[in-house]
Structure 1
Amino acid sequence: MNEWNTRCKSFILLSLVRSFALSLFFFCTTFAQSRTEGIGPANSYYPVHNFQDDFQVYDEATKAYVPYIVEQHADQTALSTYIDLESNRHYSLLISTRKDGYLFINAALKRKLRAGQWTVLSIDSLFRVYRQPEIFLTLYGAPGLVDKNLFIGYPKSATQRPVVLRDDNLSVRPRPVSMYTNFLGLGLLFLLATHAFLFAFHRRAFLRFYSPRDFFSLRAQEESFLINRPLSSTNVLFVLNLSFVVAYLIIFIQSRQLDVVVSRRLFNEQSLLYILQEFFVLGVIAFIVLMGKYVALEVIGGLYKLQSSINLHFFKVLQSSMLFYTILTLFLVVIAYNTGTMSWSEHILIIPLLIFYAARLAFLYIVIRSQEPIKNLYLFSYLCIVELIPLIIGLRFAL
């Protein structure tokens, strides 16, 4: 009897082990197939996230969205979910329905979904359009969850090759050189040439603009040719030079894999000529923004009756910007060329910018307050409009 019990136990244990092994085999096989086959059109995308368990439906009784439950909501034709755009940048949104349906984003109809066809949407494009960290997406069509497929995917590389181990572990290959490397050197030479030109032909103005002692001086020379004529050819040349410094700094930060703009499509790193073209385009944009600021100062200053301090304000803005951006650019370039393995983060740029603009706002308040008998509330409102609010908006769109 004991021998019979022992055999039964051994048989049951062996059966359990075989069942577990077969289950593990089929699970691994299925998982491997799903990973290798891919999803989307022509199975050309890797699945990052499947929204099958994230759908919600609108409940009339509670007047709110509730999680989708098959037993209760099998006849629902509209399934909704939230899409996190900010955390899934550079990925794609893949949508497919077995029957014709419709796609709604934030309760607005966007397109018709053809049966059996994949719709691919770039999450970067959605982020640029809606300017929101997440969107509310609704799929309307045939009832049930089986009809609808919603994924976040990443495209497979067309040049991807399997990794093959070889005996020769040591191989000598040329180090890949980024197109930015050539541009950063040429850009520094260009900025050196422009600064040398300004120093040679406009030495007096150069020494005035790049003088920290003159910047911190509260006794401004109102009759100075730089302050009294803000749109003179000399001032315009220095503004243009500052614009190219800002453009160089933007491309330098972008070369460190930090997104200065929302999408990296502006910086495709196609060729050196393409990057040079972007450099001059960014320089022209920065020049237009700086000159447009003087127009804004004239308009806002007229409303607050500060006409006598507008030119001084604009001069101090240019003077501080030239000192700060030139020093910041040289500092970052020296760090980059001496620490090749350094890990760059957004704080390297954001923290100095916030400190600089906050300090400049306080300094401009002191300078203008010493020149104008105006109420503190008016002056603070004026500075917030022309200095603080553009900074907040610029950081919001840049980050």
Structure 2
Amino acid sequence: MAFSASGQSRTEGIGPANQYYPVHDFHDDFQVYDEGAKAYVPYIVEQHADQTALSTYIDLESNRHYNLLISTQQDGYLFINAALKRKLRAGTWYVFNIDSLYNVYRQPEVFLTLYGAPGLNDKSLFIGYPKSATQKPVILRDDNLSVRPRSFSVYSNFLGLGLVFLLATHAFLFSFYHRAFLRFYSLWDLLSLRSPEESFLINRPLSSTNVLFVLNLSFVIGYLLVFIQSQNLDVFVSARLLGGQTIASIIGEFIIVSGLTFMVLMGKYLALEVIGGLYKLQDAINIHFFKVLQSSMLFFTILTLLLVMVSYNTTTIIWSESVLLFPLLVFYLVRLAFLYIVIRSLEPIKNLYLFSYLCIVELIPLIIGLRFAL
């Protein structure tokens, strides 16, 4: 993905042996970290002449099929997304294929940092295009303009509107189903092994109250999946359902994902009824389903809020599938062990039967889900 050479001429070309036409010069795009502001600010010669680390965002998605060219006059280091990638030797050009970078990082842009001698003149960073062997040399002038599309994320508006929508649905349930809301979102009630079977929530799992809370959980999971997609991560919804890049298409995708999630959650209760009947666990089915809903509401609501807060307060966070799959895997395994304890305390059943039942309704769907996620 990279090779090196020496030399540069700004009148005929750039890079190794002047073999590249410059597409964009990052000379005026560099940023430095300001301790006072706790954020990255534009590089100003008068203020930041002694800075040794200069950073900038590289738009990979808009510059496919081009190359990234890097050179420093003194030895330095290259960081991508805050991770050290290689040492830069003085006077040497390093050429990176942007398509390869895009395939490796799976992000529309990366955060690049050049560390070395202080000052801006020591560092050269370009996006370039190789010259054709049959083309005549093109004389380049320093007053050329580089016109690039303004980068923006269509997801930003939806994520804000989605949070307002979720706040409204939770407020509605809290106001009109106050007693049920307090039970579903009670950690103490969740950890209680002996839930009263005559409870209005447990005894009637398909009541309108329970169905509304299941629908609200579907909205939370749908929002979480769209948020994951906005970070260019291929988890569960790797293909864009509608393929559009407008706010209307994303709202449509959110509705579809939420609807599918709602059908899966309701279908799970029917599966519990069928499989529970085979293992003669009818008395534990409703409590099992109630505990699943309780734990899922608490976990996914907290996870969504944490991810949103982290994304809005951190600009250089590195998102990856493992960052999201790890808490999900831990949650499902802990919930599986907890459900075993709950049902074991309710039913005089052999461990082998109970373990087989939980494998079918909890562990096997988890394994299948991880298979599609990865």
Cα distance change of structure 1 residues 339 and 166 upon mapping to structure 2, 3 Å threshold:
farther
Distance 2:205 2:141 in 1: 66
Per-residue CA deviations over 1:323-351 (Å, capped at 9, x if unaligned) read 00000000000000000221111112110
Q: 1:391 to 1:180 in 2, by over 3 A?
A: same
Q: How does the TM-score come out when normalised to structure 2?
A: 0.61
Which of 288, 292, 298 is the equivalent residue of 1:313? 288
1:193 equivalent among 154, 165, 168: 168
Aligned partners of 1:288, 1:266: CA distance in 2, in Å?
Answer: 17
Q: What pairs with 1:90-169 in structure 2 (closer than 5 Å)?
A: 166-167=142-143
Aligned residues: 246
1:228 aligns with 2:219: no
**Distance between the aligned counterparts of 1:388 and 1:303, measured in 2?**
18
1:226–1:262 CA distance, 2 compared to 1 (3 A)? closer
Provide, for residues 28-50 of structure 1, a one-character-per-residue CA deviation record: whole Å limited to 9, x for no partner: 99x99xxxxxxxxxxxx97xxxx
Residues 60-115 of structure 1: CA deviation (Å, up to 9, x unaligned)? xxxxxxxxxxxxxxxxxxxxxxxxxxxx9x99xxxxxxxxxxxxxxxxxxxxxxxx
Task: Name the aligned partner's letter for residue 305 of structure 1.
Answer: K
Offset, 1:281: 0.6
Tell me how far 1:219 sits from its aligned partner. 1.4
Q: Percent identity?
A: 70
**Is the Cα contact below 8 Å between 1:218 and 1:367 reproduced in 2?**
yes
Q: Map of 1:308-387 to 2, 5 A cutoff?
A: 308-387=283-362
CA contact under 8 A between 1:208 and 1:214: conserved in structure 2?
A: yes
Could you tell me whether the CA contact under 8 Å between 1:179 and 1:269 is conserved in 2?
Answer: no
Q: RMSD of the alignment, in Å? A: 2.9
Contact 1:262–1:397 (8 Å) recurs in 2: no
Three-state SS of the structure 2 residue aligned to 1:243 is helix
- Name the amino acid aligned to 1:238: F
1:263 to partner: Cα distance: 4.0
Match of residue 273 from structure 1: 248
| Match in the other structure for 1:300 | 275
Larger radius of gyration: 1
What is the aligned counterpart of 2:218 among 209, 225, 243?
A: 243
**Offset of residue 167 of structure 1:** 3.9
Distance 1:264 1:168 in 2: 39
- Check the 8 A contact 1:222/1:312 in 2, yes or no: yes
The corresponding residue for 1:71 is none
Name the residue aligned to 2:194. Answer: 219
> Structure 1 CA distance, aligned partners of 2:141 and 2:339?
64
Alignment partner, residue 154 of structure 1: none
Counterpart of 1:203 (choices 173, 178, 183) is 178
Check whether the contact 1:294–1:314 (CA below 8 A) recurs between aligned residues. Answer: yes
Structure 1: which amino acid aligns with 2:353? Y
- 2:169 and 2:141 map into 1 onto residues whose CA distance is 52
Unaligned runs of 5+ in 1: 1-27, 33-44, 47-87, 92-161
- What amino acid sits opposite 2:179 in the alignment? R
AA in 1 matched with 2:216: N
Residue 264 of structure 1, CA deviation: 3.1
CA contact (8 A) 1:253 1:260 kept: yes
Q: What is the alpha-carbon distance in structure 1 between the residues aligned to residue 177 and residue 142 of structure 2?
A: 63
Amino acid at match of 1:334: M
In terms of fraction of residues, the more helix-rich structure is 1
Q: Tell whether the 8 Å contact from 2:225 to 2:237 is kept in structure 1 after alignment.
A: no
2:231–2:319 Cα contact (<8 Å) kept: yes
| Aligned residue number for residue 53 of structure 2 | none
Letter in 1 for 2:274: V
CA contact (8 A) 1:180 1:269 kept: no
- Aligned residue for 1:226, secondary structure, equals coil
**Rounded Cα–Cα distance in structure 1 between residues aligned with 2:286 and 2:142:** 70
Give the partner amino acid of 2:288: H
- Counterpart of 1:278 in structure 2: which amino acid? E
Give the corresponding residue for 2:368. 393
Match of 2:38 in 1: none
- In the alignment, the residues of structure 1 paired with residue 358 and residue 158 of structure 2 have an alpha-carbon distance, to the nearest angstrom, of 37
